[in-house]
Structure 1
Amino acid sequence: MDTAQAPGRLRATVAAVELLRRLGGIHGALMMHQSGGCCDGSAPMCYPDGDFIVGDQDVLLGVLDLRLGAGETLPTRPEGIDAVPVWISGTQFELWKHTQLVLDVVPGRGSGFSLESPEGMRFLSRARAFSPAENAQLAAEDVIVGQKWEQGVRPAPSSEPQVVAEAVDACPVPGSRTSS
């Protein structure tokens, strides 16, 4: 059996992390929820921590460590303003569980309730399909749902870098450039 650690379900670009740092400086601790439709389509939405009620069956994709730069890892999870949990509804997760969500930002004004709306940028979800081997590893792992989070369950630290310079570094387009 392969003992390699399963890949993380979440990555973010440097630009997304920088925007989250700026928003955290204004609003304090943050959280995100990957919308499954309605208002902003399928936009990732950013809220002050606690302003969005996480459902018992919502799935934690990961906790972004805002202390990290591209390619860096730390052995422990941050607390407070440096930790941004990213959630997705349980039903949406079932549709997306074969992909790694890559949180990015693009110029433009999102609509709706997300905190970045007045910043001239909007969060955007990109995705990389997991390989069959990665899917097998992930299928063996328990996901953390809202109910477990409320009971104090937290994800183990990952040895995989969470932050990439650009989205293409996490989900390359065939025939395009990739990072070296």
Structure 2
Amino acid sequence: MSVAPAAPPTVSVTPAAAELIRSLRGQHGPLMFHQSGGCCDGSAPMCYPAGEFRTGSSDVLLAALEIEGVAEPVEFWMSAAQWQLWKHTRLTVDVVPGRGSGFSLEAPEGLRFLTRSHLLT
């Protein structure tokens, strides 16, 4: 496992995403995100119960998100290969209507998380 260098916050969440995270935390306990960068569902941030997705040396911990109303930080992981492509961006986790992955906790909610990227200048 590696950790992204400390700089301006690498990952943030929108108010709508924070609200959904609080709801999911209430239902499932501590949470984590992983974004693989693969096709289809892998290109979106996947939300799991903390520790359910096994991270390893091919993953980078980008942030421990502090969400108001959530007792513990929510870790945001990304595959190292994807991070190499996105390391010059600031990421924002947002939520939109739609069906997410069957493996991501928000799928039954009729919403899906997505990552918006903004180039760092």
Normalised by the length of structure 2, the TM-score is: 0.88
Aligned residue for 1:95, secondary structure, equals helix
Kindly provide the amino acid, as one letter, of the partner of residue 129 in structure 1. L
Rounded Cα–Cα distance in structure 2 between residues aligned with 1:43 and 1:6? 23
Partner of 1:64: 65
Cα displacement (A) at 1:39:
4.5
Gaps of 5+ in 2: 1-5
Rounded Cα–Cα distance in structure 1 between residues aligned with 2:42 and 2:27? 26
Normalised by the length of structure 1, the TM-score is: 0.61
Asked if 2 retains the 8 angstrom alpha-carbon contact of 1:40 and 1:110, the reply is yes
Bigger strand fraction: 2
- Which structure 1 residue ranges, 4+ long, deviate > 4 Å from structure 2? none
Partner of 2:14: 13
Find 1:93's aligned residue among 80, 83, 105: 83
Kindly provide the amino acid, as one letter, of the partner of residue 105 in structure 2. L
Asked if 1 retains the 8 angstrom alpha-carbon contact of 2:11 and 2:91, the reply is yes
Cα displacement (A) at 1:8:
1.1
Cα displacement (A) at 1:46:
0.1
Gaps of 5+ in 1: 69-77, 132-180
Kindly provide the amino acid, as one letter, of the partner of residue 64 in structure 1. L
Aligned residue for 1:40, secondary structure, equals helix
Coordinate RMSD, CA, aligned: 1.7
Asked if 2 retains the 8 angstrom alpha-carbon contact of 1:67 and 1:82, the reply is no
Rounded Cα–Cα distance in structure 2 between residues aligned with 1:55 and 1:6? 23
Asked if 1 retains the 8 angstrom alpha-carbon contact of 2:35 and 2:42, the reply is no
| Greater Cα radius of gyration, structure 1 or 2 | 1
Kindly provide the amino acid, as one letter, of the partner of residue 107 in structure 2. S
Rounded Cα–Cα distance in structure 2 between residues aligned with 1:41 and 1:126? 14
Cα displacement (A) at 1:82:
2.9
Report sequence identity in percent: 59
Find 2:111's aligned residue among 121, 129, 132: 121
| Aligned residue-pair number | 116
